[in-house]
Amino acid sequence: MIYFVGPLIAFAATVLWVFVLRPLAPQLGLLDIPNERSSHEQPTPLIGGLAIFLGLICGTLAAVANGILPLDRYTLSLFGGGLLLVAVGVVDDARDLSPGVRFVAQIIASLIMIYGGGVVLTDLGRMLPSGGMLYLDWFAVPFTIFATLGVINALNMCDGLDGLSGTLALISLTGLMIVAFVAGGPADSVLLAMLAVSIVAYLLFNFRLPGRRRALIFMGDAGSMFLGYVLTWFTISLSQGENRAMVPAAALWFLMLPIFDTVSMMLRRLMRGRSPFRADREHIHHVFLLAGFTVNETVAVMAAAALIGVGMGLMSMDMRLPEFSIAGLFLICGILYFWMVIRSWKVMRFIERSICRRRSSSDRRSGVDRRQRSDPAYQGPERRSGSERRQRLRREADRSRLYMPPEPGRKDDAPTGSEATASSKPVTRA
């Protein structure tokens, strides 16, 4: 029973911090003000990530006081890097820091993880076709920093719907907690359990529950960066060393959906001649919204996909599949995911054009005669240019908070919104 002390206190403390910080959000400047690209209509406090971090600290102190966790260099480095990211994230949520400042903070946190906690990717497992170990050697530190920044910003870019990023992080952490528990790592198991229940406490205020049609709080950059950092920390920690709990190839499956979504979006932007770091509304969850799914239904579908990924990772370890095969299957699934995203947007573009044609036919049936269409002052659908029709559709889509994708190569169809990097604020907070 003593092992439940830390998680119980972490859960209660997170809930308490939400009630304390929520009324203070306007004074601290931690409000997400809705704009033309937001899916919420009222200013919403950005205190979820801060509440999770503070709740986790309270649970950790209780676990240390009861002798469950050691207050060693490993634990201190975890919270030291996390504190840096949370602090920078809070300032960014309040004042909009430049992308460069966020990247520098993420690199410093990665170095704390590497040199302070000793968590570094020294090898990629038995990835060679011959079954030999693929060591990184001198490339270990740069590759670890690259992986850390990638996961942090992948989770940030998935922060697009109420409850989405928190749910995806919770599913990944649950899988890692199972791995740590089976491997006999009590310290990692307790830390992961405390973080998981802190996320559950946050989701109680972030989900669109029955009788509540909007989120009460958002995670903010502080939360997405911290959760991405912790996910990277434990994924690397559990997959390295002589007594590793899982192989690195299987660890990819625990982060499947954020990796697939981020890589697919960046490739799609490059194919269309746009910056891979430019924010837009073309993620897979926007496809579901355009298809008529509600926010909760979209989160449920994506959570199911994330669960499949975690299940694949656990199953591959249980079956002791060759690591090269595990990584190869992951790559094949990633390619299929990318094809699905490209295909889905083509379908959405076809539907959009069909709507244009149906509206033109409707106007003709409503009595618009040939003389009106020949009048230069008449601006009905038949007289409007393709660009004007698409701009009108986009305005209508913005009113319903959905994004109609532009056609490739059209300068007038570039998506609205400011230039942003992958570490910038997500399009829609959650």
Nearest C-alpha neighbor of 197 from the set 223, 166, 232: 166
pLDDT value of position 92: 92
Residues 240, 245, 247, 249, Cα dihedral to 10°: -100
Give the model's pLDDT for residue 231: 95
Looking at residue 414, the DSSP 8-state letter turns out to be P
Q: Count CA atoms within 13 Å of residue 429 on its CB side.
A: 29
Place of tokens 């959009």: 352
- pLDDT for 136 equals 92
Largest CA distance in the chain: 87
Separation of alpha carbons 261 and 341, rounded Å: 9
| Residue carrying structure tokens 């499956």 | 253
403 three-class SS: coil
* Rama region for 409: left / alpha / beta (φ>0; ψ in -120 to 50; rest): left
Residue in this structure with the two tokens 């403390």, named with its chain if needed: 13
Q: In the structure encoding, which two tokens stand for residue 300, read together?
A: 């449920």
Taking CA atoms, 337 is separated from 119, 175, 399, in Å, by 30, 22, 29
pLDDT for 385 equals 45
Q: Residues with Cβ < 8 Å from 205, sequence gap 6 or more?
A: 18, 48, 215, 216, 217
- The DSSP output letter for 208 is -
Q: For 24, which DSSP code?
A: G
CA distances from 82 to 75, 153, 224 (A): 11, 15, 11
Helix (H, G, I), strand (E, B) or coil at 32: strand
358 Cβ contact list (under 8 Å, min separation 6): none
The domains of the chain are located at: 2-343
Other Cβ atoms within 10 Å of 410 Cβ, number: 11
Query: What pTM does this model have?
Result: 0.79
| Torsional class of 229: left (φ above 0), alpha (ψ -120 to 50), beta (otherwise) | alpha
Strands (E), 42-142: 44-45
Task: Report CA Rg, the chain.
Answer: 24
Q: Are 239 and 246 in contact (CB under 8 A)?
A: yes
pLDDT per residue as tens, the chain (430 positions): 677 889 999 999 999 999 999 999 999 888 887 654 445 557 889 999 999 999 999 999 999 998 888 889 999 999 999 999 999 999 998 888 888 899 999 999 999 999 999 999 999 998 887 778 899 999 999 999 999 999 998 888 887 788 888 999 999 999 999 999 998 878 899 999 999 999 999 999 998 888 777 889 999 899 999 999 999 999 999 999 888 999 999 999 999 998 998 888 888 878 877 766 666 666 777 777 777 788 888 889 899 999 999 999 999 988 888 899 999 999 999 999 888 888 776 666 555 555 455 555 555 455 544 444 444 444 444 434 445 545 554 554 454 444 444 444 444 333 333 333 333 444 444 4
pLDDT at 361: 52
Contacts with 168 (C-beta within 8 Å, 6 or more apart), sequence order: 155, 158, 257, 258, 302, 303, 306
Q: Which amino acid is at 12?
A: A
Residue appearing with tokens 């749910």: 167
| 123 neighbors 133 (Cβ within 8 angstroms) | yes
